[in-house]
C-alpha cells in the first residue's frame, strides 16, 4: 500500500469516527426532546407506572386539559412571554450594537475606561443586584408591569462584547469614513451601513436574548403576581406546585412541550443565521 492510499484510508477512518461521534451527540441531545413528546402523550397513571419508549394515546387529551386548565391561562401566558422576550431581543441587540459601534468607531479620552467598565459590569451576577432592583420596582410601583423586565435589557454587556468583537472582524473603517465624507449622519451611517453588515451577529444575539428572556423565571416571579400578567415559566411552576391529589403529570409535560415550541421554531428557521454569525465573527476580515 503506497503512502497516498494509506493517507486516504487514515483520512477516511478519521472522518468516520468524527461523523459517528457527531451522530451520537445529536441523538443524545434529541433524545430528551423525544422523551418530552412521549411523556406528553401519556396519562398521569401511565407516567407513574414507569418508563416507556413509545408514545401513547393521550396526546390530544393532555393538550385539551392543559389548554383549558382553569388555574392557568396558557394562551395569555405565551403571549406575555412573547411580548417580553421579543421586546428584550430587539432592545438588547440594537443598543448593544450601537454601543459597540460607538466604542469601536470613535476615539475619545475615556474609551478604554468605558470598555473596562462595561466588562466589569459583565462580571457581576444578576442575583447580586436583584434585591436592590426589586426594591426599586416596588418603590416606583412597577409591579405587575412588563417595563422592569424589558427596559434593563438595553444594558447587556455580554451582547456588547460579542458585537464589538464582530465589528472588529467585519467592519472596515474606510467605509464609515466614506459615508461621513458623503454627508451621512452618524445614526444614518449606523442604521443603513453598519446594521446590515452586522445582520448575522444580530440574528445570533436576538435568538439567544429571546430564549433567555422566554425562560426567565427569577425576576418575573418576584414582580408579577396577577394571573393575567404571568409568563410561561411562572405558570409551569404554578402548575407543578398544585395539590398532589389533583396533580396531572401528563398535563405538565404537555405545557412544557407547548412552552418550548416557540423556541424550537426560532432555532429551526434561524439556524443558518446562527452558524453564519458564529463563523463570521470568529475570522478576521
Q: How many whole angstroms separate alpha carbon 120 and alpha carbon 47?
A: 47
Question: What number is the average pLDDT over the span 184-202?
Answer: 85
The x, y and z cell numbers of residue 233, run together, are 415559566
State how far the Cα of 40 lies from the Cα of 65, in Å rounded to an integer.
11
CA distance 162 to 198: 11
Say how far apart CA 232 and CA 77 lie, in whole Å.
Answer: 5
DSSP secondary structure string for all residues of 161-225: HHHHHHHHHH--HHHHHHHHHTT--HHHHIIIIIHHHTHHHHHHHHHHHHHHHHH--HHHHHH--
Does position 160 have pLDDT exceeding 70, yes or no? yes
Least confident of 89-103, 144-158, 183-197: 183-197
**Which triple of cell numbers denotes residue 131?**
434585591
pLDDT, tens only, 93-108: 999 999 998 888 888 8
Name, in order, each residue with C-beta under 8 angstroms of 152's C-beta and a sequence gap of 6 or more.
Answer: 133
Q: Is the pLDDT of residue 164 over 60?
A: yes
Pair 130, 218: CB distance under 8 Å: yes
On average, the pLDDT of the chain sits at 83
pLDDT at 58 (0 to 100):
86
Amino acid at each position: 500500500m503506497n503512502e497516498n492510499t494509506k493517507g486516504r484510508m487514515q483520512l477516511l477512518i478519521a472522518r468516520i469516527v468524527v461523523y459517528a461521534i457527531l451522530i451520537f451527540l445529536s441523538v443524545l441531545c434529541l433524545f430528551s426532546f423525544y422523551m418530552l413528546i412521549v411523556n406528553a402523550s401519556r396519562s398521569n397513571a401511565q407516567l407513574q407506572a414507569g418508563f416507556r419508549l413509545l408514545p401513547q394515546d393521550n396526546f390530544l387529551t393532555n393538550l385539551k386539559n392543559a389548554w383549558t386548565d382553569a388555574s392557568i391561562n396558557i394562551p395569555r401566558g405565551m403571549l406575555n412571554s412573547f411580548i417580553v422576550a421579543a421586546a428584550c431581543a430587539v432592545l438588547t441587540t440594537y443598543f448593544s450594537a450601537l454601543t459597540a459601534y460607538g466604542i469601536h468607531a470613535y476615539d475619545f479620552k475615556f474609551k478604554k475606561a468605558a470598555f473596562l467598565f462595561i466588562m466589569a459590569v459583565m462580571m457581576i451576577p444578576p442575583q447580586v443586584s436583584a434585591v436592590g432592583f426589586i426594591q426599586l420596582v416596588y418603590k416606583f410601583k412597577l409591579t405587575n408591569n412588563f417595563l422592569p423586565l424589558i427596559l434593563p435589557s438595553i444594558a447587556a454587556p455580554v451582547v456588547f462584547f460579542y458585537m464589538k468583537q464582530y465589528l472588529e472582524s467585519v467592519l472596515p473603517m474606510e467605509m464609515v469614513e466614506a459615508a461621513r465624507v458623503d454627508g451621512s449622519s452618524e445614526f444614518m451611517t449606523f442604521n443603513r451601513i453598519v446594521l446590515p453588515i452586522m445582520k448575522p451577529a444580530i440574528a445570533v444575539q436576538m435568538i439567544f436574548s429571546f430564549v433567555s428572556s422566554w425562560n426567565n423565571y427569577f425576576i418575573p416571579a418576584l414582580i408579577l403576581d396577577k394571573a393575567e400578567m404571568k409568563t410561561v415559566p411562572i405558570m409551569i411552576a404554578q402548575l407543578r406546585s398544585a395539590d398532589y391529589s389533583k396533580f396531572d403529570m401528563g398535563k405538565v409535560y404537555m405545557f412544557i412541550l407547548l412552552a418550548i415550541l416557540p423556541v424550537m421554531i426560532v432555532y429551526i428557521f434561524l439556524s443558518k443565521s446562527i452558524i453564519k454569525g458564529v463563523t463570521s465573527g470568529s475570522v478576521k476580515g
